[in-house]
Amino acid sequence: MNKNKFKKIPVFDISIGQQEKDFIKDCLDTSFVGQGPYVKEFENKFSNFVSCKHGITTTSGTTALHLALRTVGVSDGDEVLVSSSTNMACAFSIVYCNAKPVPIDIHKETWQMDTSLIEKKINKKTKAIMVVHLFGQAVDMDPVMQIAKKHNLKVIEDCAESHGVEYKGKKVGSIGDVGAFSFFSNKTITCGEGGMVTTNSEELAIKARGFKNLCYGKENKFIHEDIGFNYRLPNVSAAMGLGQFNQISEIFRQKERIDKRYRNNLKNIKGLNIPAIDKNTNKYIMWVFNLYLDENFGISRDELTKKLKEINIDTRDAFVPINMQKILQKNSDIKENDCPNANFIMKNGFYIPSGNTISNEDIDYVSEKIIKLKKNN
């Protein structure tokens, strides 16, 4: 009897080592649970890892995006071009600045922003481009940076799902003006909840540190220099993040193992598509293992994931894109059919169990069940 039949196989799990526990205990023992030395050490080590001179921790990936946008000057009435297929934190962070998100469609084969569509969306109100490096891949950054330079636009990189990923030898988060990382519990490394803004600009780093810390005054702390935010990451969270970071090479090895095994198990299955890795992503690091179906599979995505759930295999549907969000269509010219490829992936894309600790046995079991469900229909 297969023991997998009776246990749930989750989409995500995390590996927490002894060092994370020791660092957190140290915070508790020394009473440095708010601000403390782990924050600076985590900022320094992670920003150096992604080839940036400055790292500014925040309370979440969402606040990292908001802080990045505010730091580069996005404000009332501006427009920001952004990949449509993404977590809504991207769009909402733009709205927090009283600016407007303008969705850009994706490549169906890679799920990454189609950079050939950017320039036709630029107008006098356009202030910035927010690229989203999804599922461990990189957006094609050369044309993004060329367009930004031509039109004097700022570039924000959302790297929530792409820790350590490289584009043509450059780490994502170091290519644009600012990067934004998430350390939520399902990310490559986690603080439980947290984020970081990265940049090579000292000027932007100073601004970001000010904004995240309520814009306290230099001479009199309580005469504030601007409207700031309390986005300070607690020391205890940074301690966990630092412990996670110290095992990042092992986490990457596990992700490579999982990715290779799924690719081998699920290759050449008619109607089941594994997104292509863009040729410019010269260091791909899987976040979670994503797939999409077409009409040749025999059953729909929703039918497949329902059947998988019945046998305790967890899945997640692809993002509902920005152009399909009713709340963002209000008082806007955003239309549902603006991004057909993002809409296709919304209906047909999903991801399967691929947390760091999933066993080869469980990977094979999930793969076998997907193949069997196709054959039975």
User: Checking phi first, is residue 73 left (phi over 0); if not, alpha (psi -120 to 50) or beta?
Assistant: left
Query: What is residue 6's predicted lDDT score, i.e. its pLDDT?
Result: 62
Burial of 252 (0-12, 13-18, 19+ CB in 10 A): middle
Is 159 found in the same domain as 63?
Answer: yes
Average pLDDT, rounded, for the chain: 95
Alpha-carbon distances of 290 from 7, 29, 113, 335, rounded to whole Å: 22, 42, 16, 26
Query: Of the residues 245, 271, 296, which one is the last residue of a structural domain?
Result: 245
Nearest to 334 by CA among 321, 347, 317, 344: 321
What average pLDDT does this structure show over 159-173? 97
Asked whether 194 and 183 are in contact (CB, 8 A), the reply is yes
Instruction: Count the Cβ atoms, other than its own, within 10 Å of residue 32.
Output: 18
The DSSP output letter for 320 is: P
Is 287 found in the same domain as 210?
Answer: no
Judge whether residue 1 has pLDDT over 50: no
Is 195 found in the same domain as 287?
Answer: no
Judge whether residue 33 has pLDDT over 60: yes
Nearest to 155 by CA among 192, 184, 118, 130: 130
Asked whether 226 and 209 are in contact (CB, 8 A), the reply is no
Query: What is residue 2's predicted lDDT score, i.e. its pLDDT?
Result: 52
Residue 221 in tokens: 């702390």
Question: What is the residue-wise DSSP string for 231-243?
Answer: -PPPHHHHHHHHH
Asked whether 208 and 56 are in contact (CB, 8 A), the reply is yes
Q: What gap in Å lies between CA 368 and CA 255, rounded to an integer?
A: 20
Query: What is residue 43's predicted lDDT score, i.e. its pLDDT?
Result: 98
Judge whether residue 127 has pLDDT over 60: yes
pLDDT digits (tens, 9 = 90+) for 136-149: 999 999 999 999 99
What average pLDDT does this structure show over 222-244? 96
Asked whether 214 and 169 are in contact (CB, 8 A), the reply is no
Judge whether residue 157 has pLDDT over 80: yes
CATH of the domain at 186: 3.40.640.10
- Counting residues of the chain whose pLDDT is more than 70, the rounded percentage is 98
Q: What confidence category does residue 5 fall into, taking pLDDT thresholds of 50, 70 and 90?
A: low
Is 209 found in the same domain as 116?
Answer: yes
Is 259 found in the same domain as 162?
Answer: no
Judge whether residue 271 has pLDDT over 80: yes
The DSSP output letter for 274 is: P
Note down the domain range covering 117.
Answer: 18-245
Query: What is residue 281's predicted lDDT score, i.e. its pLDDT?
Result: 78
Query: What is residue 4's predicted lDDT score, i.e. its pLDDT?
Result: 56
What average pLDDT does this structure show over 20-45? 94
Is 29 found in the same domain as 55?
Answer: yes
Torsion angle of C-alpha atoms 52, 58, 64, 68, degrees rounded to 10? -60
Query: Of the residues 245, 267, 286, which one is the last residue of a structural domain?
Result: 245
Q: What confidence category does residue 331 fall into, taking pLDDT thresholds of 50, 70 and 90?
A: confident
Alpha-carbon distances of 9 from 136, 171, 224, 282, 355, rounded to whole Å: 22, 32, 50, 31, 10
Q: What confidence category does residue 330 fall into, taking pLDDT thresholds of 50, 70 and 90?
A: confident
Q: What confidence category does residue 200 fall into, taking pLDDT thresholds of 50, 70 and 90?
A: very high
Is 229 found in the same domain as 261?
Answer: no
Query: Of the residues 245, 262, 281, which one is the last residue of a structural domain?
Result: 245
Is 231 found in the same domain as 305?
Answer: no
Is 162 found in the same domain as 42?
Answer: yes
What average pLDDT does this structure show over 325-350? 93
Query: What is residue 377's predicted lDDT score, i.e. its pLDDT?
Result: 65
Is 253 found in the same domain as 212?
Answer: no
Residue 375 in tokens: 């054959």
Angle at 87 (CA atoms; ends 85, 91), nearest 5 degrees: 85
Q: What gap in Å lies between CA 187 and CA 162, rounded to an integer?
A: 9
Question: For the chain, what is the domain count?
Answer: 2
Q: Which residue has the tokens 């196709």?
A: 374
Is 282 found in the same domain as 303?
Answer: yes
Is 346 found in the same domain as 219?
Answer: no
| 327 membership: H or E segment, kind and range | helix 326-329
Residue 214 in tokens: 């309520």
Question: What is the residue-wise DSSP string for 47-105?
Answer: HHHTT-SEEEEESSHHHHHHHHHHHTT--TT-EEEEESSS-THHHHHHHHTT-EEEEE-
Q: What gap in Å lies between CA 22 and CA 200, rounded to an integer?
A: 32
* CA neighbours closer than 13 Å in the CB half-sphere of residue 230: 3
pLDDT digits (tens, 9 = 90+) for 286-320: 999 999 999 999 999 999 999 999 999 999 999 99
Judge whether residue 256 has pLDDT over 50: yes
Judge whether residue 50 has pLDDT over 50: yes
Q: What confidence category does residue 332 fall into, taking pLDDT thresholds of 50, 70 and 90?
A: confident
CATH of the domain at 363: 3.90.1150.10
What average pLDDT does this structure show over 249-268? 97
